[in-house]
Structure 1
Amino acid sequence: MTTIILAGAGRMGGALLRGWMAALGEGLRIYAVDPHASETLDDIAAAAPGQPQFCHAATAADLPENLIADAIVAACKPQLTHAALQSLSGCAGPDTLVVSVAAGVPLSTLQSVFAAPSPAVRAMPNIGATLGCSATAAAASPDCTVPHRALVERLFRAVGSFSWLAREEDLHTVTALFGSGPAYVFAMCEAMIAAAQAQGLAPDTARALAIATVAGAGRLLQETPEPARLRETVTSPNGTTAAGLQALGDSGLADAVSAAISAAGARSRELS
């Protein structure tokens, strides 16, 4: 039996837990520790009866005595991660893997939380995990074993696809692009709605059409993952789309996106 402790069951932690409960079968025991999410955790457990063994605790003190986890997954805010892991030190054995999904918390910090250095993994899923369509990227400390890596892959493939990074440094760019990226798309959708309303479209109509546009574009990218080709396909020479793209270019869209990713990456480095 593989034992997982999940520290934090908010938006991301809850998404991970839902994925594990829905996609992973027998042989897994999960304990979720979160003082504020008892109703949410009850709902998650009720939605997947007969799947992994599951229970939750308000604090680490409520966990069973002498419990040693195979992995402790911290899904807390970055500033709370160290304290959350420290509270679970009694559940860490010499081979316990520490996993964090918090932006900016380095492997060196994760490895130093407990009395003895721990194998550690930094992972970056995004909000798509709530729908099982995240694409997690992760970096591992050198002492992570093949079984450790296999467990990480199993956990994160339950909420989407997964890939390893060769360098921990690359997680700053992954955070800026993939972790923060959905917010850029949502902001673009907001701007489209506002612009359509300014041109006289009814608010409900503007919202429905903008959302359908973004959702449909995402589906097309899944089917044909070549953005340039798709852009060319929907752009007739001298047509309306060409005029709109020209305006976006004149407005500095590429520079704005570059600045957003650079700023988010810089902030990730500051948090490290």
Structure 2
Amino acid sequence: MAYFLKHIKDNLWHGQFSIFPDDVAVHAISTRLGGVSNAPYDSLDLALHVGDHADDVLANRKAFAASLGLDEARIVTPNQVHGDTVAVVTAADAGCGATDYKDSIQETDALVTNAPGLPLMLCFADCTPIVFLDPERRACGIAHGGWKGTALCIAVKTLAKMGEAFGTKPKDVLVGIGPSIGPCCFEVGDEVAARFREAFSYADELLITQENGRPHVNLWEANRQQLLSAGVPDANIQVAGECTCCRHKWYYSYRADGGTTGRIAAMIALRPEE
């Protein structure tokens, strides 16, 4: 079993990757279930920037963090801009963006840390969560792999930043590629397809398929191929394979929900060394 959904309580679920050792880090991908937000953000919306009531989002964050044994007041989260900036965060950044979107790490689409007990959180609604764990040097990270970030190779840049900051080696890294819009539903225009052909020499072979005469992009495979090319072993990468557009009753989907919707989150925190 690679990626699986685990019921915690009160219709709150954790999406998890079996490859991540629980004694090194705690992690989860949220679903849209088990929260207090009203439609169209129903119900476990974890984003403060989409128009939902802030009190509801904060209650959702508290519930989700608590379900992982984490303190919601210490969450670190960025202002995601579909770029390729990777920020190294420390214990001094605890709480950045936790209760106020204006206080988030600015214009950043990936976070990495080696600070124990520091919950990293990024938000998604069709874009690809990419979660990293280096159990050897006890470091972790999350990247926001939308189509722009994927074309900019944000997964490889996050891995490189972990190497620079913590000495992480690609052969040691475990990576989970989370639920996002799948190749079944991610129809794109010619401009986006062209960007992928420019970024990946093998795009037509692996990443782009033609359905109904229109190109469809496979973000999962694009990020997996990036990581393989950077030296991450195939056995160290797990792909959830869950399409948020097809399964938008479980996950928020910008496309399926017509543009006004909440956000799931990917969260990871290192456990303190014993």
Larger radius of gyration: 1
The TM-score with structure 1 as length reference comes to 0.29
**Larger helix proportion of the pair:** 1
